[in-house]
Amino acid sequence: MEGVIISLAILIFLSHLFSAMFVKTRMPEVLPLLLLGILLGPLLNIVSPADFGMVDQVFTRVLLIVILFESGLGLRISQIRSTWEQSSRLTLISFVVIMCVVALLSKIVLNLHWAYAVILGSILADNSFAIIIPLISKLNITNTTKTVLLTESTIGGVISIVVTITLLNMAKIQSFDVSLIVAKIIYTFMVACITGGAAAIFWTTVLNKVRKLENGIFLTLAFVLVVYSVCETLGSDGSIGAFIFGIVAGNIRTIRKLHGFKFIERFTMNVKSKAFNDTEKSFFSEVVFVLRTFFFVYIGISMQLSSLYSILCGLLFTLVIFMARIPTVNYVLEKSVSRIDSAVTSIMVPKGLVTAVLASLIMQSGVPGGVILQNTIYSVILFSIILATLLSFFIEKGWGMPAVNFLFKRHREFYPDAIPAPAAKKVEIGHQQKHLIAKDR
């Protein structure tokens, strides 16, 4: 028992150490956590997934609920309003393209039934919000592009969850009627929006009283779990309800000023400031951080290195996803977007927490060949993080400019205030040389 407790403590210390490495290396902390899990599991056989018993199923669901709530809480309607058209277009088209490409490839390589091939495609069409943030933090791109990327990863994650869970439910009853699937998705969103929105309005009105209770900060997370349960009881998806709850609660002051929502104002008159203060947001973020730490180590432990075929399939899927993303971004983004911004957008397809959680749901749903699919998805997560990190580093150093200029030549060359530092220096030197030549003449 003492060994387990000290191991948990060491993991938390290591996760904070890996997080601090962002500042200098910009390497996502989930990568060393994955590698640590691989070391503890497949390589040294110190621990195995069987040691966790049934805990992983409950843990997976709770983690999905909390991360979606926290993601919704951090989504600002005022920030995405100006880029909504471009963000939504990129999100939908990129999601459909990658889902179709992965589905076709999985049909050929893994010989999956079309239904399960599409499920795999919807899982791998998600981009990780938590991994994209540190990758773009040091890249000199415009704030508009950053907003587009963060909006895409957030909304794309929700779409991935809804489509995947809906298709898995259809698979259980052996019915893949397109009209039934569309109706189920619409119903899921409607119930989740109504339930999550109403719950958020109620909770923001009583939050000031809740804060007066001892350890009241935990009650918000408990209420989110209640919202999840109500949505599930009504035949919707509770995780989407938690996401809507977070969005409405985090943007209550903005929403009540919108046309058609002003009736909310009389219910939220006591909400004078932000619904959640900085202390509460930091607490929610820390909870996600700790849960994410253990989960990514668990993923590494669960990877089966003996299945070379699954690993190679994961590498193939990763390369194909990155290749499919390039022309999609090239023609979906407006020509006014710079080549550097377009290049950065094209490589921001790393897979992360949502993808891993949905991979676990495949195993729990009893999908035929679920072990192979799960291990393939875990391999894609590992390879996509590595590839996105390397490519962003090359772009930052200006080493990939010839390829960037060739692949995105339909876009403008650069923004004066949004190009990698090395490239910026070259441009600046070039302007100085032209100025001196002109002066000599």
Span 397-407, average pLDDT: 86
Supply the DSSP string of 108-133, one letter for each residue. HHT---HHHHHHHHHHHT---HHHHH
**Residue 102, pLDDT above cutoff 90:** yes
Span 73-99, average pLDDT: 85
Q: What is the pLDDT of residues 304-344, one digit of tens each?
A: 777 788 899 999 999 999 999 999 999 999 888 999 999 99
Span 379-392, average pLDDT: 91
Span 203-222, average pLDDT: 81
Distance in angstroms (rounded) separating the CA atoms of residues 275 and 326: 39
Confidence band, pLDDT 50/70/90 cuts, at residue 433: very low
Span 274-301, average pLDDT: 80
Instruction: Tell me how many helices (H) and strands (E) the chain has.
Output: 20, 0
**Residue 76, pLDDT above cutoff 80:** no
Show the tokens assigned to 92. 């939908």
Looking at residue 341, what is its pLDDT? 93
Distance in angstroms (rounded) separating the CA atoms of residues 384 and 150: 17
Task: Name the average pLDDT for the chain.
Answer: 80
Contact 99, 115 (CB under 8 A): no
Of 50-64, 138-152, 339-353, least confident by mean pLDDT is 50-64
- Short-list 320, 286, 329, 401, CA closest to 124: 320
Report for 7-16, 111-120, 161-170, 277-286: range of highest mean pLDDT:
111-120
Distance in angstroms (rounded) separating the CA atoms of residues 91 and 411: 19
Confidence band, pLDDT 50/70/90 cuts, at residue 274: low
Confidence band, pLDDT 50/70/90 cuts, at residue 426: very low
Span 413-427, average pLDDT: 47
Looking at residue 430, what is its pLDDT? 40
Confidence band, pLDDT 50/70/90 cuts, at residue 253: confident
Contact 115, 170 (CB under 8 A): yes
What CATH number is given for 2-440 in this structure? 1.20.1530.20
Looking at residue 5, what is its pLDDT? 64
- For residues 227 and 211, the model is more confident at 227
Span 406-428, average pLDDT: 60
Contact 284, 221 (CB under 8 A): yes
Looking at residue 30, what is its pLDDT? 75
**Residue 180, pLDDT above cutoff 90:** no
Q: CA-based angle 302:131:104, to the nearest 5?
A: 65
Span 206-234, average pLDDT: 86
Q: What is the pLDDT of residues 22-46, one digit of tens each?
A: 656 666 677 788 888 888 888 888 7
**Residue 243, pLDDT above cutoff 50:** yes
Looking at residue 414, what is its pLDDT? 63
- For residues 66 and 25, the model is more confident at 66
Distance in angstroms (rounded) separating the CA atoms of residues 91 and 68: 17
Supply the DSSP string of 147-186, one letter for each residue. HHHHHHHHHHHHHHHHHHHHHHHHHHTT---HHHHHHHHH
Q: CA-based angle 183:185:190, to the nearest 5?
A: 95
Looking at residue 261, what is its pLDDT? 66
Bridge partners of 338, per DSSP, are 412
Residues across the chain? 441
213: which residues sit within 8 A by CB, 6+ positions away?
A: 219
Looking at residue 101, what is its pLDDT? 96
Q: CA-based angle 216:275:197, to the nearest 5?
A: 100
Dihedral angle of Cα 360, 365, 371, 377, to the nearest 10 degrees: -40
Which sequence spans correspond to the domains of the chain?
2-440
Looking at residue 93, what is its pLDDT? 95
Q: For residue 286, count other CB atoms closer than 10 A to its CB.
A: 10
Looking at residue 94, what is its pLDDT? 95
Q: Is 252 helix (H, G, I), strand (E, B) or coil?
A: helix
- For residues 316 and 274, the model is more confident at 316
pTM: 0.78
**How many alpha carbons fall within 13 Å on the CB side of residue 404?**
26
Looking at residue 125, what is its pLDDT? 94
Of 64-78, 88-102, 218-232, least confident by mean pLDDT is 64-78
**Residue 246, pLDDT above cutoff 80:** yes
**Residue 286, pLDDT above cutoff 50:** yes
Looking at residue 354, what is its pLDDT? 85
- Short-list 100, 101, 91, CA closest to 323: 101
* Alpha-helical runs (H) found in 251-369: 252-255, 278-302, 308-332, 339-347, 353-364
Determine what percent of the chain is predicted with pLDDT higher than 90: 24
